[in-house]
């Protein structure tokens, strides 16, 4: 069986829109747009964009996210108050069980890969 490549620039994936849950909002009420180009065996990958704003995040056990910022700027602050900023060309991983605040400082576009080991079982 020949496997097909997922080419983000050619994908016709529909956009999905959402906003942070009201109980997690810290600043604003940003619109988030996701184009999930790939999903299989607990792995998903795609393109995510978001308006400025901030909300609290809490990653589930076994769920990690790799991201690469294409444009814009974000800041992720952990529960201890340590903050890291990411801009164009920067990449990072949000590990399973991470809690903190995700803030979009400038409208952002990023690629992401999420591995959800719980979904594989």
Write down the domain spans for the chain: 15-112
Q: Convert the pLDDT of each residue in 40-99 to its tens digit.
A: 999 999 999 999 999 999 999 999 999 999 999 999 999 999 999 999 999 999 999 999
Q: Convert the pLDDT of each residue in 8-40 to its tens digit.
A: 999 999 999 999 999 999 999 999 999 999 999
Fold of 15-112: Jelly Rolls (2.60.120)
State the Cα–Cα distance between residues 52 and 10, nearest whole angstrom.
27
């Amino acid at each position: 069986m020949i496997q097909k490549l997922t080419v983000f620039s050619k994908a016709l994936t529909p956009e999905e829109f959402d906003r942070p849950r009201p109980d997690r909002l810290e600043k604003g009420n940003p619109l988030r747009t996701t184009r999930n180009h790939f999903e299989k065996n607990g792995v998903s990958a795609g393109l995510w964009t978001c308006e400025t704003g901030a909300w609290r995040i809490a990653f589930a056990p076994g769920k990690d996210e790799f991201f690469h910022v294409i444009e814009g700027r974000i800041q992720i602050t952990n529960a201890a108050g340590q903050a890291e900023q990411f801009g164009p060309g920067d990449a990072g991983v949000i590990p399973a069980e991470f809690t903190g605040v995700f803030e979009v400082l400038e409208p952002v576009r990023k690629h992401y890969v999420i591995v959800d080991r719980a979904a594989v079982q």
